[in-house]
Every structure is written in C-alpha cells, then in structure tokens.
Structure 1
Amino acid sequence: MPKHDIPALFRAARPLLTALGDERRQEIVQRLIEAGGVLSVGEIADAIELSQPAVSHHLKILRDAGVLEVQRVGTTRRYILAVGSGTLEPLVDMVRGITECLAEQLEQ
C-alpha cells in the first residue's frame, strides 16, 4: 500500500467506524471500560436502559467488527473488550495516515 493511500485506510477501518459510529454501541463500549472490560448482556442492558434483544443486536455488531469477544461462564455469556488483539489497528493506521498527509501538505 502506498504511504498515504487514504481511501484504502478508510476501507480497512470501515467495519470499526461503522461499529463504533452508533451512540448506543459507544455507550456499551464506555460501560465495558468502566466495568473493567467484562459484562453480561443483562448487566449492559440494565446499565444503558435498553432491552436485552436490542443490546444483543448491538453486541453482535461489535463482535463482528472484532471489538468484543465472548466468554461463556456456565449459562452466561460475558462480553469482553478485545484489547491488545490489534483490533483497533486499522483505525490507528487511518488516523496516522491522515495526520501524516496533512503534515506533509502543511510543509509544502
């Protein structure tokens, strides 16, 4: 990939941008951060005052984007932030590419 292939950087980050672009999903991620990174569907639903089916829908989108992982504990599913797995790398690369491109333009 060329150093500043901005369209490619956006394409790579699109699943994360889509998953994190919704305010409810942002709220879920914030609650998980506040709780130390692990909560059940019921705990999330109670925390953000949303029905469990609606929370499950949002969790699936976050899971599909790689933001969350699921851990079964007995009959309960615990949702865990996927930190350290390189999940946010495309987003970081996109921001870095844009920043470098803008810095180069300012130098000209």
Structure 2
Amino acid sequence: MEKERTLAAFAAVMPAFAIFQDARRQQLMTELCCKEELTVNELTATTSLSRPAVSHHLKLMLDAGVIKVRQVGVERRYSPNLAPVIAQLKELTTALES
C-alpha cells in the first residue's frame, strides 16, 4: 500500500463522506436518484422538510459537487452527480487493496 496515494484518495472522497453524514441529505439524494431530476418544490413534497431547509441542503450538496442543477425557465431542476464520487471511491478502494 502506498501511504501517500491512500491518504490522497481519502482526502479526495472526504467532502462526499462529510456531506452524506446528514440523514436529510441522504434522503434528498435518495429521492433524486429515484426520480433523476426534481425541483425544490417536488423535493419538499416528498420529505418532511420545509422549502427553506430543502434549499439549504441542496446548496450544500451542490457546493460539494454531488448534485448538479439545470435551469428550465424559472425552475431549477436538481439531479445526482455521483460519477466523480464513485470514481473517488474506486480510487480509495484500489489504494486500500494494493
């Protein structure tokens, strides 16, 4: 095991680990993965969170890069952006296994 490679892989994936420590963000990501793309109002309707709370969590997830947003008219549609996180996790597991 290369310690530097492993530590770098841990560092790369830590933002995703940190963002998903919160059960509400786990719930929002699950909804997004099931439906592929949702607005704040649609997410609010599927959770017990208020609209401001959903918006807050979406902003944190967007900043962490685990979701993306697409403007459609006046709506902002959110969707998962997990490919980079999955690549980071694969790099971490490879580093740990070597």
Task: Give the structure-1-normalised TM-score.
Answer: 0.78
The alpha carbon displacement at 1:83 in A equals: 4.5
The alignment's C-alpha RMSD in Å is: 1.8
What is the number of equivalent residue pairs in this alignment?
Answer: 97
> CA–CA distance in 2 between the matches of 1:46 and 1:78?
15
Q: Name 1:16's counterpart in structure 2.
A: 16
> CA–CA distance in 2 between the matches of 1:60 and 1:88?
20
> CA–CA distance in 2 between the matches of 1:90 and 1:62?
16
- Of all paired residues, the percent bearing the same amino acid is 35
> CA–CA distance in 2 between the matches of 1:73 and 1:59?
17
Task: Tell me, yes or no, if the aligned pair for 1:16 and 1:88 is still in contact at 8 Å.
Answer: no
The alpha carbon displacement at 1:4 in A equals: 4.4
Q: 1:93 to 1:25 in 2, by over 3 A?
A: same
Which stretches of structure 1, 4 residues or more, deviate above 3 A after TM superposition?
2-5
Task: Tell me, yes or no, if the aligned pair for 2:13 and 2:85 is still in contact at 8 Å.
Answer: no
Query: As a proportion of its length, which structure holds more helix?
Result: 2
What is the 5 A alignment of 1:83-98? 83-84=82-83, 86-98=84-96
- Match of 2:18, SS state, is helix
Give 2:8's aligned amino acid. A
Unaligned runs of 5+ in 2: none
Larger radius of gyration: 1
Which structure would you say has the larger RCO, counting Cα contacts within 8 Å and 6 or more residues apart? Answer: 2
The alpha carbon displacement at 1:72 in A equals: 0.8
What is the 5 A alignment of 1:42-61? 42-61=41-60
Task: Tell me, yes or no, if the aligned pair for 2:33 and 2:79 is still in contact at 8 Å.
Answer: no
